């Protein structure tokens, strides 16, 4: 589980993913602070899961689902 106070490459990956999926403008610094927690809670609320600001299995599934949905939208929006 990744939560406030965590740091390192896993947090950087999460920050990048949150920026892409939620439109957040997080600094990719690998520090799980209040802004990362807020962006994660936003994702959790959008996906109608418990918004505790902790990145565990349920949040990982939600992030993956949102990423896949956005990729599909981008693919369908392209004209060939």
User: What is the gyration radius of the CA atoms in the chain, in angstroms?
Assistant: 13
Kindly indicate the confidence band of residue 75, based on its pLDDT and cuts at 50, 70 and 90.
confident
User: What are residue 70's phi and psi, to 5 degrees?
Assistant: -65, -40
Q: Would you say 40 and 18 are in contact if contact means Cβ atoms under 8 Å apart? A: yes
HSE, side-chain direction, 13 A CA sphere, residue 2: 23
CA atoms of 8 and 43, how far apart (whole Å): 21
- Listed by start position, the domains of the chain span 9-77
The confidence score (pLDDT) of residue 78 equals 60
In tens, the pLDDT along 6-56 reads 999 999 999 999 999 999 999 999 999 999 999 999 999 999 999 999 999
Query: Which one-letter DSSP state was computed for residue 48?
Result: T
Report the top-level CATH class of 9-77: mainly alpha
In tens, the pLDDT along 60-73 reads 999 999 999 988 88
Tell if the pTM clears 0.95, that is, is over it: no
């Amino acid at each position: 589980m990744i939560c406030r106070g965590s740091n390192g490459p896993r947090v950087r990956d999460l920050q990048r993913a949150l920026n892409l999926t939620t439109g957040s403008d997080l600094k990719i610094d690998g520090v799980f602070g209040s802004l990362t927690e807020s962006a994660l809670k936003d994702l959790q609320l959008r996906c109608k899961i418990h918004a505790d600001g902790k990145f565990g299995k349920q949040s990982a599934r939600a992030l993956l689902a949102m990423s896949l949905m956005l990729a599909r939208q981008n693919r369908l929006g392209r004209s060939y």
